[in-house]
């Protein structure tokens, strides 16, 4: 099952990606919600029911003619891991962390496939980071590691855009400030159900900047895998349906290059993960 959120004149609408079209879930079954987050909250049975109803959906969008939002455009939480790839921690000169390094983004960071990354006037060092994003299906607190993967609804391609001057050069190293500028969390193009991803910890992940490969790794390099991450963070807060977990980035980020590579207006960034598709976004200057 593959889900997207389409921008329409009636607001964001949940659609299934079915036979080359985006089929409006609520038009296929009027008892089902028009929000992907609400569909996830209803559980896997409702998602299967929605998928089975796809042939009856009478509101259909041609992918060429609609704008996508992030698959879950309104999550309650966006939780992110820093330094979670062995090879990336080595690249930045940071020690392999003994416990997960956590930060977060606000929902105002979210944009979808083909959305524009706005480069803020106040940053001169905006960097890219390819990431696997896990989407929570079932909520819970103190989730046991052995059952943690049952709480994942699916996966999407993510991009953790990062203003390094704000992340690293402000008093106290304020990761939140550097990571949560508006538009700094492209996610998409779609949410792919966990049942279609046999092993999330063995997926090729790549990032291309204007066609040139800058990151090329595999999620088998993750230091803290999803089951451990979910068990760890659910000690702190309650996970809710639709929450997003950005799992960290592999090596090759712009700041590790000599000289460093920063995003500039007109740059096209593509993040590709095996089985999840390609997320493409263009950078624009603030106010442009």
**144: which residues sit within 8 A by CB, 6+ positions away?**
231
- Residue 24 or 129 with smaller CB distance to Mn ion: 129
- Residue 191 or 253 with smaller CB distance to Mn ion: 253
Q: Are the beta carbons of 188 and 113 closer than 8 angstroms?
A: yes
Closest CA to 253 of 220, 188, 207, 186: 207
| Region near Mn ion per CB under 5 A, out of 68-76, 140-148, 154-162, 261-269 | 154-162
Q: Give the C-alpha separation, 125 to 264, whole Å.
A: 9
Phi-psi region of 79 (alpha: psi -120 to 50; beta: other; left: phi over 0): beta
217 lies in the site for Mn ion, by CB under 5 A: no
- Residue 183 or 249 with smaller CB distance to Mn ion: 249
- Residue 129 or 227 with smaller CB distance to Mn ion: 129
129 lies in the site for Mn ion, by CB under 5 A: yes
Q: Give the C-alpha separation, 15 to 24, whole Å.
A: 4
| Region near Mn ion per CB under 5 A, out of 55-63, 64-72, 112-120, 124-132 | 124-132
Among 71, 249, 267, 276, binds Mn ion (CB under 5 A): 249
Distance in Å, CB of 246 to Mn ion, minimum: 6
Contact string 35-74 vs Mn ion (x = CB under 5 A): ----------------------------------------
- Residue 241 or 252 with smaller CB distance to Mn ion: 252
- Residue 160 or 272 with smaller CB distance to Mn ion: 160
Judged on CB neighbours under 10 Å (0-12, 13-18, 19+), 141 is exposed
127 lies in the site for Mn ion, by CB under 5 A: no
Distance in Å, CB of 54 to Mn ion, minimum: 34
CB count in 10 Å sphere of residue 93: 7
Distance in Å, CB of 105 to Mn ion, minimum: 10
| Region near Mn ion per CB under 5 A, out of 38-46, 58-66, 88-96, 128-136 | 128-136
160 lies in the site for Mn ion, by CB under 5 A: yes
H helix and E strand count, the chain: 7, 19
| Region near Mn ion per CB under 5 A, out of 60-68, 121-129, 256-264, 279-287 | 121-129
In order of 14, 155, 243, the CA distances from 196 in angstroms are 19, 9, 19
- Residue 15 or 119 with smaller CB distance to Mn ion: 119
In order of 44, 104, 149, 247, 264, the CA distances from 194 in angstroms are 10, 23, 9, 15, 35
Number of residues that bind Mn ion (CB under 5 A): 3
Distance in Å, CB of 100 to Mn ion, minimum: 12
In order of 58, 70, 109, 200, the CA distances from 24 in angstroms are 8, 16, 25, 28
- Residue 3 or 246 with smaller CB distance to Mn ion: 246
Residues near Mn ion (CB under 5 A): 129, 160, 249
């Amino acid at each position: 099952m593959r889900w997207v959120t389409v921008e329409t004149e009636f607001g964001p609408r949940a659609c299934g990606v079915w036979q080359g079209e985006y089929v409006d879930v609520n038009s296929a079954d009027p008892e089902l919600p028009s929000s992907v987050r609400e569909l996830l909250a209803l559980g896997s049975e409702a998602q299967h029911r929605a998928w089975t109803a796809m042939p009856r959906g009478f509101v259909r969008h041609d992918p060429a003619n609609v704008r996508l939002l992030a698959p879950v455009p309104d999550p309650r939480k966006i939780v992110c891991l820093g330094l979670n790839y062995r090879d990336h921690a080595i690249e930045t000169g940071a020690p392999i962390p003994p416990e997960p390094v956590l930060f977060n983004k606000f929902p105002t960071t979210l944009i979808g496939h083909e959305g524009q990354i706005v480069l803020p006037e106040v940053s001169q060092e905006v960097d890219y980071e390819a990431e696997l994003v896990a989407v929570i299906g079932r909520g819970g607190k103190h989730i046991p590691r052995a059952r943690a993967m049952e709480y994942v609804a699916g996966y999407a391609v993510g991009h953790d855009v990062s203003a390094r001057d704000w992340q690293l050069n402000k008093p106290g190293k304020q990761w939140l400030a550097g990571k949560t500028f508006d538009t700094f969390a492209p996610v998409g193009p779609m949410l792919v159900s966990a049942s279609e991803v046999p092993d999330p910890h063995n997926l090729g992940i790549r990032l291309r900047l204007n066609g040139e490969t800058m990151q090329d790794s595999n999620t088998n390099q993750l230091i803290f895998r999803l089951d451990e991450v979910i068990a760890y963070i659910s000690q702190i807060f309650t996970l809710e349906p639709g929450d997003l977990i950005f799992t960290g980035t592999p090596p090759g980020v712009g700041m590790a290059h000599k000289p460093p590579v920063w995003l500039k207006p007109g740059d096209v960034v593509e993040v590709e993960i095996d089985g999840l598709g390609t997320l493409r976004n263009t950078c624009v200057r603030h106010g442009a």
